[in-house]
Structure 1
Amino acid sequence: MRADAFLAAAEALPFGDLADLAGGGGLVVVAPHPDDESLGCGGLIAEACARGVPVRLVVVSDGVGSHPGSPSHPPERLRALREAETLAAVAALGLEAGSVGFLRLPDRFVPAAGPEAEDAAQAIARAARACGAGALLVTWAHDPHCDHQAAAALARRAARALEGVRLHAYPVWGWTLPGETEVGPAPRGMRLDVSRHLGAKARAVAAHRSQVTDLIDDDPQGFRLAPAMLARFARPFEIFLEVAP
């Protein structure tokens, strides 16, 4: 199926309830970079926290690839900033800092195989066991970013070690795919109504100041989320695609 048709169908998936995702257990959100959790799952995290559903967030990369040429924010300082932004973001959603883990794998070079990947998958599996997870949520394997694809592979690996845990994907950069890209069969899954959490989600996204403002202004190649991209994630629903075992 072409990406344009697939994503249009994803936007029309039926609405479901949080329990349809969690299956009576907790949830683990796997974010390739600090900010993916707020963009793709901010409403879900807020809804789970409001209901008392256990949530764990695992941030895979260190995020330092966003401004690699900044003199004012060398890697260690940028990593600390992006982790602090993440903690502020999830606090806006109702999630405590103790529920967040940072794997600190190299941004733009997250491994999908090998010893580091196995360690990362085990860390995701531990987070799932810690919250009695019924589901893992990770970026879509067709997102056109190597770290998003690697994170999807890590979550699949973790899911294989967790009996009865479902795996769902949330598109982030998938929305930028050329329409003619082939992405496989028609989507299965659900949309989650997050309309009552849009304010909290907006505050969470805004907390990632290094990604949405000119906070770091000394790197001509520095990354900044475009307004059109931010608008896509300000809609009153989030999309979660079933990932076949």
Structure 2
Amino acid sequence: MTRVELPDLGRWAPQRTDAQRWEPPRKLTVVVAPHPDDETLLSGGLIAHQARAGVPVIVLAVTDGEAAYPGDPDGLARQRRREQRQALRALAGEELPVLRLGLPDGRVEDHHSSLVAAIAEHVTVDSLVVAPWRLDHHCDHEAVGRAAHEAAGRCGAALAEGLFWAWHHRQPQEMVSRLRELPLSRREVERRRCALSHHHSQVAGDGASTPVLHSGVLGPFDWPSEYFILSNEGDDPL
């Protein structure tokens, strides 16, 4: 991966300032993670928050992230599955159920129907679905976001869309819906940082390439809140 200069995150200040405080519903939380590490980047604080409140959390791991670097995809997949288990334990303080779908990294969109069905199988009207924003810039993030939106709509479930790559690559005017802010406690922030440290392959790289999660992209992760778009409020916001 080539490291590129990214836009100033300060352009999002008005949206973050205007964000409405949000308390997640205390119902089964189904986190749909495109790759190992996305559960932490998009919603690590929320997972810690729900676990602390005694809310059941399950993770649908869509891919094993085997295409992050060239070389040994099978070995990288094994490493990233292990890293994800460790990160989730750091977030929740216990083992969390993880359903691995095994879709190909970088080609999630080719499996839209089966992904919608897999999400819907684990979701009811009494669930909260957490997934990437449908405009989160990465092809797999956006594909997962679209599938989660369809599945949540089919089941009547609440949907919270998280952001990571969008902070860097989208513009505020592309967001027509008001953000919701989940302020994190000091303990939740610590758990989230600890979880990220377990994703060693992503923060340290493979020794030959720039790490995917180099310091230049982790600015949003240092914010003391997480932000979501709620997509079940009477319209179809992006």
Tell me the TM-score normalized by structure 2: 0.85
Residue of structure 2 equivalent to 1:230: 218
Q: In the alignment, which of 65, 83, 86 is matched to residue 85 of structure 1? A: 83
Alpha-carbon distance change, 58 to 236 in structure 1, aligned in 2, over 3 angstroms:
same
Residue of structure 2 equivalent to 1:10: 15
Which 5+ residue runs of structure 2 have no aligned equivalent?
1-8
Q: In the alignment, which of 46, 49, 52 is matched to residue 48 of structure 2? A: 46
Cα displacement string for residues 38-94 of structure 1 (whole angstroms, at most 9, x for unaligned residues): 0121111001001111111112122011112x2xxx111111110110000000011
Q: Which structure ranks higher in relative contact order (CA pairs < 8 Å, sequence separation ≥ 6)?
A: 1
Alpha-carbon distance change, 32 to 122 in structure 1, aligned in 2, over 3 angstroms:
same
Would you say the 8 A contact 2:30–2:59 is kept in 1? yes
Question: Which stretch shows the higher mean deviation, 120-129 or 234-243?
Answer: 120-129
Would you say the 8 A contact 1:6–1:183 is kept in 2? no
Whole-angstrom CA distance in 1 between matches of 2:170 and 2:53: 38
Would you say the 8 A contact 2:204–2:211 is kept in 1? no
SS in 2 for 1:107: coil
SS in 2 for 1:238: strand
Would you say the 8 A contact 2:20–2:178 is kept in 1? no
Residue of structure 2 equivalent to 1:169: 161
Residue of structure 1 equivalent to 2:3: none
Alpha-carbon distance change, 100 to 133 in structure 1, aligned in 2, over 3 angstroms:
farther
Would you say the 8 A contact 2:90–2:191 is kept in 1? yes
Q: How does 1:198-209 map to 2 (within 5 A)?
A: 198-209=189-200
One-letter code aligned to 2:85: L
Would you say the 8 A contact 1:67–1:223 is kept in 2? no
Alpha-carbon distance change, 151 to 178 in structure 1, aligned in 2, over 3 angstroms:
closer
Aligned-pair identity in percent equals 31
Give the 4+ runs in structure 1 shifted more than 3 A.
Answer: 4-10, 95-98
Cα displacement string for residues 96-139 of structure 1 (whole angstroms, at most 9, x for unaligned residues): 54511221211111126xxx32222222122224xx74321111
Whole-angstrom CA distance in 2 between matches of 1:151 and 1:40: 13
Whole-angstrom CA distance in 1 between matches of 2:119 and 2:93: 17
Query: Is 2:32 the partner of 1:27?
Result: no
SS in 2 for 1:64: coil
Q: How does 1:1-245 map to 2 (within 5 A)?
A: 7-12=12-17, 13-18=19-24, 22=25, 24-68=26-70, 70=71, 74-94=72-92, 96-111=94-109, 116-129=111-124, 133-163=126-156, 165-177=157-169, 179=171, 183-185=174-176, 187-196=177-186, 197-214=188-205, 216-217=206-207, 219-220=208-209, 223-243=211-231, 244-245=235-236
Aligned residues: 224
Tell me the TM-score normalized by structure 1: 0.82
Would you say the 8 A contact 1:39–1:233 is kept in 2? yes
SS in 2 for 1:225: coil
Would you say the 8 A contact 1:171–1:239 is kept in 2? yes
